[in-house]
Amino acid sequence: MPAVTALRPAQRTIFMRNPEAPVGARKFEVTCSSCNLRELCLPGAVGEDDLARVENLVYARRRMKRGESLYDAGDEFNAVYAIRSGFFKTSLLDGEGREQVTGFFMGGELLGMDGIGAGRYHGTSIALEDSEVCVMPYSLVEELAREMPALQRHLHAVLSREIVRDHGVMMLLGSMRAEERLAAFLTNLSKRFVRRGYSQNEFHLRMTRDEIGSFLGLKLETVSRLFSQFQKDGLIEVNQKHVRILDIEGLGRVLAAKH
Amino acid sequence: MPAVTALRPAQRTIFMRNPEAPVGARKFEVTCSSCNLRELCLPGAVGEDDLARVENLVYARRRMKRGESLYDAGDEFNAVYAIRSGFFKTSLLDGEGREQVTGFFMGGELLGMDGIGAGRYHGTSIALEDSEVCVMPYSLVEELAREMPALQRHLHAVLSREIVRDHGVMMLLGSMRAEERLAAFLTNLSKRFVRRGYSQNEFHLRMTRDEIGSFLGLKLETVSRLFSQFQKDGLIEVNQKHVRILDIEGLGRVLAAKH
DNA sequence: CGTAATTTTGACTCCGCTCAATTGGCGTGG
DNA sequence: CCACGCCAATTGAGCGGAGTCAAAATTACG
């Protein structure tokens, strides 16, 4: 299902912010200014004065069921998406049918920027739980970025940080051993959950062992064995998708261990 | 040596384009409009009318000796660089002193975009042969991008394509076997050389086996063995850093081989 | 021209993969 | 509500691809 369906009239009526619409239709209408993810999101650094204009970035919102794809590789690019709630994976499929998970994304993070360059999305984004995203038409983003230096700066920063993130993943895949990869993965998740106000030590993995494995360049059995080993070593407590970190410094030591 | 040294007065006198300067000082002064790498570079999609203004992007040029670093991880970010001639590697150093090469770059390609997000370069760029780069102060890039939608669009496209490139590397590192990685590496280099008017089948590797290995997530001995194996299989002819591709389709078959 | 750096090649090792069986969780329908 | 079936996760045994260690050959460069 192409991304444009998010903008079809029926949904637009429901989700589009429209001053003329009866207030009751969506009582607790969420705006960027009231969104608790604002600092993490695209409107991030924009000052109070310009905030009203940035609100226009969000042309619509789209609800996603678990397993649904926000866009597929090759779909025409026309918007980037900010995650309002939920959890996503992005992945690539090569000619041989191999899947490579390129990232996991959560509230306040942006999806779809891989489509700007070619006019088509390069990868696929799939919701790993029921989610909601803000649809930001790219032409609008461009236009506002030209008029608001703060937004422009922040947009570039977001793109640049995605590059930096990718380089971190390259380091992980290119020069870390299996146990280091998983330790890095867990500490990274932990940090990101904390910024969103969740527990630093306890969380629910939304992805399967296979998806973790694909992201880390490991087989699912190896991931499973490592979880068990970390538990045996007293670093974590793991039960299926539920993880509790017992010794965050210990995980750090796994990362710093001589290779 | 910090990147700013490129702009120190002595060099500026030599390299800065200055209409008042005696013409003889730099007879074949290279401008964007006459640069044969223009389509690949940042001024790429800009129309004839705006070209004159884009020329101002290049505040200075900087000559680099082999082994010299254009910027180091942690240096203050204030410019992105376009490669006029030469060859670079970018790399990351982690706490343990492990190096991860994140890419190899040639004429027309941009360096330094990993610094936008944090105001400091995240990685290091090192010239693998004597090179020359165009220095484009980032504040100027921002300013012109606001005024010229075509430049803005192209800048975003360049950033986005870097993300796409990184995802390709993730796929390579995460789900390919050693021989597939090297085959992908060689065909990628070949394609990029062709676009620049060089031979598709014959080129000089500017990097060591160790650097190739770091980039591909392999040890240098493995890279060396694979070169020998490819030669034995009649796919390439290799002599130290000189490589001739004999069977580009054969390399493609290595990539497509069942895993 | 001599010394250091790079590359090649061999022998052996081991980490992570493959194949396989079992267990556990969860949604669906009888 | 429980039974069934499916998918996810765990665990074991054995294997193989890439790493490690080591030495020799070749080249680059001051």
Interface test mutation site (partner B, options A42, A89, A100, max chain B beta carbons within 10 A): A100
Looking at CA atoms only, how far is residue A220 from chain B in angstroms? 13
CA distances, A252 to each of A178, A228, A229, A255, A256 (Å): 14, 18, 15, 5, 6
Residue of chain A whose Cα is closest to the Cα of B102? A167
Q: Does an H or E element contain A85, and which?
A: strand A79-85
Residue B27 Cα, gap to closest chain A Cα (Å) = 36
pTM: 0.90
Tokens of B256: 């497509």
More confident residue, A21 or B47: B47
User: Per-residue pLDDT for A7 more than 70?
Assistant: no
Closest CA to B216 of B103, B72, B62: B103
For B25-37, the pLDDT digits (tens) are 344 466 788 888 8
In this prediction, residue B17 has a pLDDT band, given cuts at 50, 70 and 90, of very low
Cα separation, A131 vs B96, in Å, equals 38
Q: What is the mean pLDDT of chain B?
A: 87
Contact (Cβ atoms closer than 8 angstroms) between residue A125 and residue A131: no
Residue A216, min C-alpha distance to chain B (Å): 7
* pLDDT at position B231: 97
Q: What is the mean pLDDT of residues B59-78?
A: 94
CA distance A102 to A25: 38
**CA atoms within 13 A of residue B114's CA, in its CB half-sphere:** 25
B229 CB-to-strand C distance under 7 Å: no
Residue A179 pLDDT greater than 90, yes or no:
yes
Task: Give pLDDT tens digits for B122-170.
Answer: 999 999 999 999 999 999 999 999 999 999 999 999 999 999 999 999 9
Whether residue A96 and residue B256 make contact (CB cut-off 8 A), yes or no, is yes
Subunit contact A171:B113, Cβ cutoff 8 A = no
Structure tokens at A103: 């990232």
- Cα nearest neighbour of A157 on chain B: B117
Q: How far is the CA of A60 from the C1' of D14 (A)?
A: 55
Contact between chains at B156 and A142 (C-beta distance less than 8 A): yes
**pLDDT band, residue B78 (cuts 50/70/90):** very high
- Read out DSSP for B89-143? EEEEE-TTS-EEEEEEEETT-EE-GGGTTTSB-SSEEEESSSEEEEEEEHHHHHH
CA distances from B107 to A92, A124, A206, B3, B74 (A): 28, 31, 43, 19, 25
The letter for the amino acid at B176 is M
3-state SS, residue B19: coil
Question: How far, rounded to the nearest angstrom, does the alpha carbon of residue A219 sit from its chain's CA centroid?
Answer: 23
Report pLDDT for B7.
37
What domains lie within chain B, and their CATH numbers? Answer: 9-150 (2.60.120.10), 176-256 (1.10.10.10)
Number of C-beta neighbours around residue B9 at 10 A: 8
Are the C-beta atoms of B217 and A176 separated by less than 8 Å? Answer: no
pLDDT at A18: 45
What backbone phi and psi angles, to 5 degrees, belong to B114? Answer: -75, -5
